[in-house]
């Protein structure tokens, strides 16, 4: 795809005597449908392309991008990138290289998904809404519900002969229900994503979201204090998502990560491991190479409580005299960063259901809010609004609300008591099983 | 951008299956940004966003498609796709587009491209120097400089053809103070619907020092107490409480679905009498102002709550059809990649009668949240959560010492009745607001307000 456009850009670069240039193109197609009261509320078709260049002049990188793919636009971005490179003062060593392919064969594109008709998607969305609404008469509304799919192609080429592309697709469904009783309204959400349309089970999603909202009704307030806390798998993943940036070597080198100076030291309980794996069999971020074209790999970040590695692109790796971990990330509109691929805490040895039996009293967290406002990724401090359940002797007693849970992420890693066996990934491709933490501050 | 005859042809194609309304939105946006970090220029990037979105309505069913290939063939095929999504009884025969220009009240004095990049970089260096020289505890300063010029054209099957150019300038400064493994940030992000004159109006030394001072104050502060206390929320960005806790629930996006606690409360007392709140898109050169909204409607000044009584929602075209009310010029979208929906512009609580000192002295034990951080609200329930970026303890009617790590949580509908005092000194603060139609520039604002009781989540 886009051979002609890439050739035009390389030719313009050649005329300007630019020796090092790198081109990244993203093409995305998506469709989504929303249903409200059994009527189609909205349809959205999206078809977008964007292209960004990096040029290297005297070891300085200039960036520019365009969504217009014609020769004039290409001339403009090359000129802008050349000019922008002049001002860069960074001591980063940037190289555009040709990297080898991975050996593993990845299954990330599913042609069957493109054969699903709009009608089938609408029907699934309608069934999803119907299921949720009829679950219980206290379900008063299903304001948010969507079935959709996305297909993305990434193509990278550089002046050192690298030329790679891949296409991936997936489909998803989610719903959010409102349950109401006696002046109290609670929400419940459930989502699923897959490469297989049949795996998006409307009845499961509808029932589960309704059940989650209902379970929170008749919530009580809780006395402030320190309690053992169980983050269910989704909320453990939310917490990890919020603090995922601390593993970036770029953040560490810029003094913006609390993991600075902690490499090869013990930062968590023995039972805690964290892995970044771009080669995972089924993952949102499974891919053959990163946004520099560097081959994908699996990286142990924390093993048995020890911080083994940061996430690197080739630039941060050079600075730390190590190898890239294949975590270069950039959108065509942005500059080169470091991001996780499929980042997760692997399953522990305890059955998730047994986490509630460890302490006589514990609090299970099932909803968190204020992740971007109540968490400080630099200090590790967090304080988030939460909802959940109070457990006593392995029995779920009652739902609780109107409280915050606060602590420090690094301390939390040290205070992990047990890890469940129910690993689940979220839309950011970050996953975790349920986790029991010895104590955290609750204020209500 | 596109010829009138082609626009008419595209709209006719979009209507060809009997749709009731068709609209095309075309955008050509120029973005430029510079980042100064580690006292070095790390990033200079420029680019164009370019594309079109076509929308049709069948009744209140909305179909949207966008593309960034603006050839006749590609646009007609997008128009065909939206038209094919349904069959309707609409009967619009011919579209005669009549140009309607709305004069912009937002004068732009100095175009960005008339200023050399080196001047812009020097401006950033002054901020950096001032922040770093404030204290040895400052370990990092991150400055992002942003220019944006968004050109839009809108045509619809009512015969409207209009357009606007929106110019935005913003600088976001974040200073980090470190002490014994602890790090705290202080940040400011002033912005305006202005050209380079905005940056000329800023004193870079003051801006740098302000962020550094906040970071240092917080790194030296003790943890905030936990529990239920009275809280004074400071002016300016403190208005984020109203934005999150009430503003989102007054958008037709949530009202039309009954997903808002205020959906059936029009004309009712929903807040303490001391509260009057507005959403004003007409403030000259304000960050959240527009000339026309993203549906081509002239922007308005909308009174949301007057003396505690609910007066209006924020309404876009489709939302208005659903609740039977007229648009308030509130249809907004991040870019052509989003269908528009009702959104806030510059939303604030109007000045009241109380003196700041009287508000503080009315509290025996509580928190003065001088500067708020970001926040979020759960749609449907109105439960909100936001961080205090710079907080102080109030003891026996006096502000005593700084406290950090506090979070305020509560419920939008309930808190409106707990605001008992409203100060005089209204200021606005700039932010980016994310919702279903993407991230758009908005201002929040308020004078200082007193909330009688709110849950404070601290570490003690």
B271 CB contacts (<8 Å, ≥6 apart)? B277, B305, B308, B416, B417, B419
User: For tokens 């802008």, what's the residue?
Assistant: A80
**B265 and B117 housed in the same domain:** no
pLDDT at B459 over 70: no
**Number of neighbours of residue B398 by Cβ within 10 angstroms:** 12
State how far the Cα of B236 lies from the Cα of B423, in Å rounded to an integer. Answer: 12
B279 shares its domain with B375: yes
In a domain, B207, yes or no: yes
Confidence grade of residue A437 (pLDDT, cut at 50, 70, 90): very high
Would strands A416-419 and B21-37 be described as parallel, antiparallel, or unpaired? unpaired
Q: What is the mean pLDDT of residues A380-407?
A: 92
Q: Which residues pair with A399 in a beta bridge?
A: A389
- What's A221's DSSP letter? -
Q: Is residue B68 situated within a structural domain?
A: no
Residue-by-residue DSSP string for A289-316: B-TT-PBP-EEEEEETTEE---B--HHH
Q: Widest CA span of chain A, in angstroms?
A: 75
Of B44, B68, B118, the CB nearest to A49: B68
In a domain? residue B366: yes
End position of a domain, from candidates B219, B241, B260: B219
Minimal C-alpha gap between A31 and chain B (Å): 9
Final residue belonging to a domain, choices B179, B194, B219: B219
Contact: B42, A88; criterion CB under 8 Å: yes
- Annotate B101-169 with DSSP letters as a single string: ----S----S-GGGS-HHHHHHHHHHHHHHHHHH-TTEEEEEEEEEEEEEEEEEEETTSEEEEEEEEEE
Tell me if A108 sits within 8 A of A168, measured CB to CB: yes
Interface check B350 vs A, CB under 8 A: no
- For residues B149-173, one letter each, b for 16 or more C-beta atoms within 10 angstroms of the residue's C-beta and e for the rest, the string is bbbbbbbbbebbbbbbebbbbbbbb
The alpha-carbon gap from B254 to the nearest alpha carbon of chain A, in Å, equals 8
User: Strand pairing of B365-377 and B227-233?
Assistant: parallel
Distance separating alpha carbons of residues B78 and B66, to the nearest angstrom: 7
Cα–Cα separations (whole angstroms), residue A353 to A21, A146, A397, B283: 54, 30, 15, 56
Token digits of residue B6: 């082609």
Contact A443 B183 (CB under 8 A): no
B98 and chain A in contact, CB less than 8 A: no
**In this structure, is residue B89 part of a structural domain?**
no
Nearest Cα residue to A296 out of A93, A113, A154: A154
B353-408 pLDDT per residue, tens:
999 999 999 999 999 999 998 777 776 777 888 889 999 999 999 999 999 888 89
Query: Are residues B405 and A381, on separate chains, in Cβ contact within 8 Å?
Result: yes
Burial classification of residue B324, based on how many CB atoms lie within 10 Å of its CB (0-12 exposed, 13-18 middle, 19 or more buried): exposed
Of B85, B373, B455, the CB nearest to A444: B455
Residue B173 phi/psi, 5-degree rounding, is -115, 130
Question: Residues of chain B with pLDDT > 70: what percent?
Answer: 99
Q: Is residue B40 part of a domain?
A: no
How many structural domains is chain B composed of? 2
> Rounded to whole angstroms, how far apart are CA atoms A189 and A176?
4
Q: Are residues B215 and B233 in the same domain?
A: no
Q: Judging by DSSP bridges, how do beta strands A361-369 and A225-231 pair with one another?
A: parallel
Average pLDDT, chain B: 93
Q: Do B211 and B237 reside in the same domain of the chain?
A: no
- B237 & B187 share domain: no
Per-residue pLDDT band for B39 (boundaries 50, 70, 90) equals: very high
Three-state secondary-structure class, residue B346: strand
Please give the full DSSP string across A11-23, using - where no structure is assigned: HHHHHTT--EEEE
Distance CA A226, CA A412 (A): 13
Range of the domain at B278: 227-457
Q: Do A46 and B65 touch (CB under 8 A)?
A: yes
- DSSP state for residue B416 in the 8-state scheme: H
Do residue B226 and residue A443 have CB atoms under 8 angstroms apart? yes
Give A391's strand partners. A362, A396
Q: Yes or no: say if A9 and A21 are a contact pair by the CB < 8 Å rule.
A: yes
Contacts of A255 (CB under 8 A, 6+ apart): B139, B140, B176, B178
Is there a single domain that holds both residue B236 and residue B199? no
* Residue B460's pLDDT band (cuts 50, 70, 90): low
| Binding-face residues of B in 372-391 toward A, CB within 8 A | 373-381, 383-387
Contacts A39 to B, Cβ<8 Å: 61
Please answer yes or no on whether A373 and B374 come within 8 Å at the CB atom. yes
Per the document, the length of chain B is 460
User: What are the DSSP calls for A266-293, one per residue?
Assistant: B-S-TT--EEEETT-SS-TT--SB-TT-
Q: Are residues B181 and B296 in the same domain?
A: no
* More confident call, B122 vs A372: B122
The pLDDT tens digits for A163-213 are 999 999 999 999 999 999 998 889 999 999 998 999 999 999 999 999 999
C-alpha span between A301 and A311 (Å, rounded): 8
C-beta separation of A312 from A249 below 8 A: yes
**Which tens digits make up the pLDDT trace of A319-355?**
999 999 999 999 999 999 999 999 999 999 999 999 9
- End-to-end Cα spacing for chain B: 59
Average pLDDT over residues B191-198: 98
Chain B residues whose beta carbon lies within 8 Å of the beta carbon of residue A22: none
Residue A254 phi/psi, 5° resolution?
-90, 5
Q: In this predicted model, what pLDDT tens digit does every residue of A137-156 receive, in sequence order?
A: 999 999 999 999 999 999 99
The rounded Cα A211 to chain-centroid distance in angstroms is: 25
Give dist(CA A376, CA B23) in Å, integer. Answer: 43
On whether any CB of chain B is under 8 Å from the CB of A44, the answer is yes
B236: left (phi over 0), alpha (psi -120 to 50) or beta: left
Instruction: Convert the pLDDT of each residue in B104-152 to its tens digit.
Output: 899 999 999 999 999 999 999 999 999 999 999 999 999 999 999 999 9
* B336-345 mean pLDDT: 96
Cβ of A68 within 8 Å of Cβ of B68? The answer is yes
Distance (Å, whole) CA A243 – CA A301: 13
**How many Cα atoms sit within 13 Å of B217 on the Cβ side?**
20
Q: At B215, which CATH number?
A: 3.30.2290.10
Stretch A227-244: mean pLDDT, rounded? 96
The predicted model gives A73-82 an average pLDDT of 96
List alpha helices for A178-271, DSSP H.
Answer: 202-215, 233-243, 249-253
Q: Write down the pLDDT at residue B254.
A: 87
Instruction: Tell me the residue ranges of DSSP E strands in B333-436.
Output: 341-342, 346-349, 365-377, 383-395, 398-404, 407-411, 419-422, 427-435
pLDDT for residue A256 is more than 90? no
- Residue of chain B whose alpha carbon sits nearest to that of A258: B181
Q: What percent of chain A has pLDDT over 70?
A: 99
Task: Report the pLDDT averaged over residues A86-98.
Answer: 92
Residue of B187, B380, B413, B432 to mutate when probing chain A, most A C-beta within 10 A: B380
Closest CA to B450 of B217, B229, B187, B186: B229
DSSP helix/strand/coil, B199: helix
Residue with tokens 């990096």: A54
Phi, psi at residue B340, to the nearest 5°? -70, 155
Which domains occur in chain A, in start order?
111-143+165-215 (3.30.2290.10), 219-444 (no CATH)
Q: Rounded CA gap, A356 and A364, in Å?
A: 8
Query: Which of B192, B219, B246 is a domain's end point?
Result: B219
Please check whether residue B188 lies inside any domain of the structure. Answer: yes
The proportion of chain B whose per-residue pLDDT surpasses 90, expressed as a percent, equals: 79
Kindly give, in sequence order, each residue whose CB lies less than 8 Å from that of residue A321, ignoring residues fewer than 6 positions away: none
How far, in Å, are B233, B369, B398, B400 from residue B395 at the CA level?
16, 14, 5, 6
Tell me which residues of chain A, numbers 77 to 96, contact chain B at a CB-CB cutoff of 8 Å: 77, 80, 83-85, 87-91
Tell me, what's the pLDDT at B281? 97
Mean pLDDT of B438-455: 96
- What is residue B129's predicted lDDT score, i.e. its pLDDT? 98
| B304 and B196 assigned to the same domain | no
Q: What is the DSSP letter of B89?
A: -
| Whether residue B437 sits in one domain with residue B387 | yes
3-state secondary structure of A88: coil
Is the same domain home to B199 and B315? no
Residue B208 sits in the same domain as residue B244: no
* CA end-to-end span of chain A: 57
Residues A174, A144: Cα–Cα separation, whole Å: 8
Cα–Cα distance between A364 and A273 in angstroms, integer?
A: 22
CA A244 to each of CA A32, A105, A266, A309, B180: distance values in angstroms, whole numbers, following the listed order: 28, 27, 18, 13, 23
Q: At which residue do the structure tokens 């949580």 appear?
A: B409
Token digits of residue B330: 């509130």
Rounded average pLDDT over A42-71: 94
Give the count of alpha carbons within 13 A of B122, CB side only.
Answer: 6
What confidence tens digit (pLDDT) does each residue in A5-14 have? 999 999 999 9
Q: Give the model's pLDDT for residue B245.
A: 81
Residues in chain A: 444
* Same domain as B241, residue B335: yes
């Amino acid at each position: 795809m886009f051979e002609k456009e890439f050739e035009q850009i390389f030719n313009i670069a050649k005329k300007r005597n630019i020796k090092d240039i790198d081109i990244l193109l993203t093409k995305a197609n998506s469709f989504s449908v929303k249903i409200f009261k059994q009527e189609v509320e909205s349809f959205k078709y999206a078809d977008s392309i964007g292209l960004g260049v990096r040029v290297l002049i005297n070891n300085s990188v200039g960036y520019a991008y365009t969504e217009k793919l014609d020769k004039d636009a290409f001339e403009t971005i090359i000129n802008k990138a050349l000019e922008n490179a002049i001002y860069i003062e960074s001591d980063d060593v940037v190289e555009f290289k040709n990297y080898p392919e991975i050996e593993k064969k990845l299954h990330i594109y599913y042609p069957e998904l493109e054969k699903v008709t709009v009608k089938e998607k609408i029907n699934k969305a309608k069934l999803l809404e119907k299921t949720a609404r009829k679950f219980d008469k206290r379900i008063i509304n299903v304001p948010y519900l969507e079935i959709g799919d996305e297909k993305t192609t990434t193509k990278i080429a550089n002046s050192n002969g690298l030329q790679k592309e891949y296409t991936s697709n997936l489909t998803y469904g989610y719903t959010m229900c409102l349950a109401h009783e006696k002046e109290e309204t609670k929400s419940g959400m459930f989502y699923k994503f897959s490469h297989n349309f049949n795996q998006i089970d409307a009845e499961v999603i509808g029932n589960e979201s309704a059940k989650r909202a209902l379970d929170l009704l008749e919530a009580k307030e809780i006395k402030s204090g320190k309690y053992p806390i169980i983050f269910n798998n989704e909320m453990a993943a939310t917490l990890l998502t919020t603090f995922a940036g601390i593993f970036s070597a770029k953040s560490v080198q810029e003094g913006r990560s609390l993991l600075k100076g902690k490499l090869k030291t013990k930062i968590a309980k023995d039972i805690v491991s964290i892995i970044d794996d771009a080669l995972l069999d089924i993952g949102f971020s499974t891919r053959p190479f990163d946004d520099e074209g560097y081959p994908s790999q699996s990286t142990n970040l924390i093993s048995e409580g020890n911080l083994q590695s940061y996430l690197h692109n080739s630039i941060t790796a050079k600075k730390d005299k190590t190898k890239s971990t294949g975590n270069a990330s950039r959108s065509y509109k942005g500059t080169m960063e470091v991001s996780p691929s499929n980042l997760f805490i692997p399953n522990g040895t305890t059955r998730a259901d047994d986490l509630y039996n460890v302490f006589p009293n514990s609090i299970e967290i099932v909803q968190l809010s204020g992740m971007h406002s109540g968490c400080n990724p630099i200090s590790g401090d967090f304080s988030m609004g939460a909802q959940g359940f109070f457990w006593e002797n392995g029995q779920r007693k009652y739902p609780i609300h109107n409280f915050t849970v606060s602590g420090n992420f690094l301390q939390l890693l040290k205070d992990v008591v047990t890890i469940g066996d129910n690993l689940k990934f979220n839309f950011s491709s970050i996953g975790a099983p349920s986790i029991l933490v010895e104590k955290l501050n609750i204020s209500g | 951008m596109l010829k009138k005859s082609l626009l008419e042809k595209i709209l006719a194609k979009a209507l060809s299956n009997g749709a009731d309304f068709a609209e095309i939105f075309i955008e050509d946006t120029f973005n430029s940004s510079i980042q100064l970090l580690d006292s070095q220029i790390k990033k200079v990037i420029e680019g164009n966003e370019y594309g079109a979105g076509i929308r049709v309505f069948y009744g209140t069913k909305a179909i949207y498609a966008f593309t960034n290939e603006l050839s006749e063939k590609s646009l007609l095929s997008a128009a065909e796709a939206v038209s094919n999504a349904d069959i309707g009884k609409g009967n619009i025969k011919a579209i005669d587009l009549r140009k309607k220009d709305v004069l912009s009240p937002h004068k732009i004095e100095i175009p960005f491209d008339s200023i050399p990049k080196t001047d812009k970089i020097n401006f950033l260096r002054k901020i950096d120097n001032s922040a770093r020289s404030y204290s040895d505890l400052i370990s990092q300063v991150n400055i992002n400089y942003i220019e944006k010029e968004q050109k839009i054209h809108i045509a619809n099957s009512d015969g409207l053809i209009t357009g606007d150019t929106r110019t935005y300038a913003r600088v976001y400064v974040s200073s980090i103070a470190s002490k014994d493994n602890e790090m705290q940030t202080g940040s400011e992000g002033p912005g305006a619907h202005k050209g380079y004159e905005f940056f000329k109006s800023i004193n870079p030394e003051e801006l740098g020092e302000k962020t550094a001072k906040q970071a240092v104050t917080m790194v030296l502060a003790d943890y905030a107490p936990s529990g239920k206390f009275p809280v004074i929320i400071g002016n300016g960005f403190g208005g984020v409480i109203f934005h999150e806790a009430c503003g989102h629930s007054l958008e037709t996006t949530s009202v039309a679905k009954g997903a808002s606690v205020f959906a059936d409360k029009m004309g009712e007392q929903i807040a303490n009498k001391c509260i009057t709140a507005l959403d004003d898109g007409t403030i000259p050169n304000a960050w959240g102002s527009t000339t026309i909204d993203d549906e081509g409607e002239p922007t308005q000044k909308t009174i949301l709550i007057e003396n505690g009584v609910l007066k209006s929602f924020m309404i876009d075209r489709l939302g208005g059809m659903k609740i039977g009310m007229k648009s308030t010029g509130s249809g907004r979208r991040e870019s052509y990649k989003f269908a528009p929906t009702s959104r806030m512009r510059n939303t604030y609580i109007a000045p009241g009668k109380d003196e700041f000192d009287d508000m503080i002295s009315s509290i025996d034990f509580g928190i003065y949240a001088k500067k708020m951080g970001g926040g979020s609200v759960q749609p449907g329930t109105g439960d909100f959560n936001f961080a205090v970026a710079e907080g102080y303890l109030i003891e026996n009617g006096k502000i005593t010492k700084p406290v950090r790590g506090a979070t305020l949580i509560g419920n939008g509908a309930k808190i409106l009745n707990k605001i008992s005092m409203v100060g005089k000194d209204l200021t606005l603060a700039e932010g980016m607001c994310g919702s279903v139609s993407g991230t758009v520039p908005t201002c929040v604002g308020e004078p200082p307000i007193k909330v009688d009781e709110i849950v404070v989540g601290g570490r003690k």
